[in-house]
Chain A
Amino acid sequence: MTRRTLEVSHLNTSFFTERGEVKAVQDVSISVNKGQVVGIVGESGCGKSMIARSIMGLVKKPGKIVSGSIVLQGKELTSLGEKELCKIRGKDVSMVFQEPMTSLNPTMRVGKQVQEVVAIHEDVSREEARRRTLQILSAVGIPEVEARYNAYPHELSGGLRQRVIIAMAMVMKPHLLIADEPTTALDATVETQIMALLKQLAKDGTSVLIISHNLGVIAQLADYVYVMYAGRVVEKGSVFELFDNPLHPYTHGLLGAVSSLRSQTKVLQTIPGVVPNLAHLPAGCSFAPRCSKCMARCGSEQPKLVAVNPEHEVCCHLKEGADSL
């Protein structure tokens, strides 16, 4: 497994609030290979972003990684202190997020912000740092880099700002880039451009972990997909397997809720009910109260991830039953 960039195994991240333990991430295992684009999809509040924060070591109090391991390029991250994590963040693993409008410091020139990342991670001359900054800015498709280098964030459009943020994340050539809803705040044309850029980065060898609630984004970008529900991975598989042959009732529901130009139906399907309160999860399968195929044992017994084929695993009693029969 030398080509493995990231290996998250049995990760549990919880928030210890006054109302009890809120299990944001439960027993999640994810692996990302070199140059692979891995997608995590799920509704709001299902723990997608908490996985990203756990990997970055930025879980805020009262949250905490309870157990599990996160191995990046053979290095265990959960046991590292703040100082060591600072050295890894931005250098070996980087993150791009949702809000390009507010993710840049309004008082700093954008070039300086990218350059700052180089300056803190590597002992290079100012000219060298500047050269690399200009190089990465043009690599992410920013026109007239010399002029843009001196621009303040408010002088750039949303798409350009997101490119600057990606440049910031990529300037140290990290092994892993986490993109948390990278296109949610952008309009459709800019979204297409940013997605093309992320695809290009993966082609050049960066592993990308993309988090989104948008199945379209995931389908276009990802090679492998994890579907999350209430803090757990409920189904995972290669992008073709998962979209062609969804097994978990939740995945079915998600795919049914996508609008398509070709579909004949007039009314979009929805999944009844809401995501359960993570502080008071039902005893068995978390999806049971909303599931149309719920059986007796679903209410009492947590199903396990089982492989239906080498490229596809699902966490549902329906499939466990199919195996044992």
Chain B
Amino acid sequence: MLDAKIPSGPLDNKWTDYKGHCKLVNPANKRKLEVIVVGTGLAGASAAASLGELGYKVKAFCFQDSPRRAHSIAAQGGINAAKNYQNDGDSVFRLFYDTIKGGDYRAREANVHRLAEVSGNIIDQCVAQGVPFAREYGGLLSNRSFGGTQVQRTFYAAGQTGQQLLIGAYQALERQVALGNVTMYTRHEMLEVVKIDGKARGIIARDLVKGNLERHFGHAVLLCTGGYGNVFYLSTNAMGSNVTAAWKAHKQGATFANPCFTQIHPTCIPVSGDHQSKLTLMSESLRNDGRIWVPKVKGDNRKAVDIPEEERDYYLERRYPAFGNLVPRDVASRAAKERCDAGHGVGTSKQAVYLDYADAIVRYGKIEAGKEGRSNVPMEEIIAMGKQVVKEKYGNLFDMYEKITGENPYEVPMRIYPAVHYTMGGLWVDYELQTTVPGLYALGEANFSDHGANRLGASALMQGLADGYFVIPYTLGNSLADEIYSKAVETSHPAFETAEKAVSDRINLLMNIKGKQTVESFHKRLGKIIWDKCGMARTKEGLEQAIKEVQALKKEFWSDVRIPGSINEMNPELDKANRVADFIELGELMCVDALNRNESCGGHFREEYQTPEGEALRDDANYMYVAAWEYKAEHEWNLHKEPLIYDVVKPSQRSYK
């Protein structure tokens, strides 16, 4: 059933060969072909803009009030590219290798190599659009380092790289809207995929302002709808981020791959109480200069400044001397959990570790003093100069921390704790980004393909834009070339009729439950089950228990949820209920997948499978495959395995020591 359609030939020629031989659609025919793009983050906006430029008739949808709001905007740290501008030994192969290794050998070689190949083009394209990347005094682009790598290949725009890249893609998209090549539907949510003769031919969308359902035809449908991190309730995702589009696709036959591969980001602001609605990430770039530590003594209640140097445990530097504070995210997160579980956590909740800038401030201060050729500079002055440098590099992040916690991170170390951030799993796609439903594609975080079991920092922006700007314009043409004789289907077609009725019936069912409990309360309970039992550490017993709990929660949801208001109006509670209902079903599949994978790899850590030092223990003999789940019926899935074949990289125990 799974044909990844990986081109033959040597790894570094595959993409070139593919581009040289894929089918093309002539300009006159492109005008007759309609493409639906759902989601307008980096993947969706770049795809919609690029396809519009090529001449396809594009309809783009987002649930926000403007495509510029998509959650790609919140990415802080940067975007990787194998430019080797720093002359520090980077290359396409290195980026490819780091990504495969970082993903703990659970990603597809061919896709990752292509990603590394087009990475440089992304930077060029963004610069041409006017994305104001950070620059050096000589006027050239600046780079910084990021977790899991030993070269400086990350391009950035202060702590707002995602924002600047998204605005670039958004502007390209709005230009196509102005030219009439793209029609934009904001405040619309996709609620069903319409299939005709086995092919995706359109969607049913709900106008979130008026509440009515709409039918939209497309020769192909692209889902660029992001990840499903909000299944955990608390995550760094935006409040609206959801799995609904991907889940509808799944129930229409698209297999869902590696749902248990979720990323817990090590540097987030800790939970402060039950009222918490979301978690805020502090960019991984902070680990470049900050040092992470906990008190050596358990339950030490002294203030951080009162704990002397020799009583601090810089546990990442101690455990991983080669990478230190820059180990990949999964490793850093688990290490923080390990210290807190062992009783060394800090803050009122004891579920936090320190991220300390004191040393960096002094170091930078001395450099500044050195630049002025001064010696014997008093420490206070050095610290003041150092703070200025840190402010320039990370000012917006420090400000954000202070607003949320009320503490000044220039004076006291930040408290951080891991939080759900990204989902490597997603809809299974082949090399062309097509799901197992013909005509239905998944781009960006919505697909599973490039990050294996753990994503490296600054690679999500790269993948979203690679898929949208440089991959889909080629691969979509390859199948649309066969569609030039297919006329647009009228939306009065019975398939649209049936799909719309199914959506409408489900909404009516939800509204008529008229139970006692709010949607939010169900979402919180789901999140707690998944976080406790399918979060940073998982066990067979816990997962089995979680499956039962989620199934019970589903029953309770469908018999006791209360949704106020009515259908044909703006009704945010109804929107949320539609999403939470799908999260519950996905939650079960995540646990099923985690239970099936009897190994630890990347973000998936089964306590039963670890090395004596507590590192993840893979089982390549039995689990070197992509687990693609086919929906059969309620609580029932078929597992399809796509073996992962490593022609070039030799999988080894990942070591950052």
A and B co-occur in one complex:
no
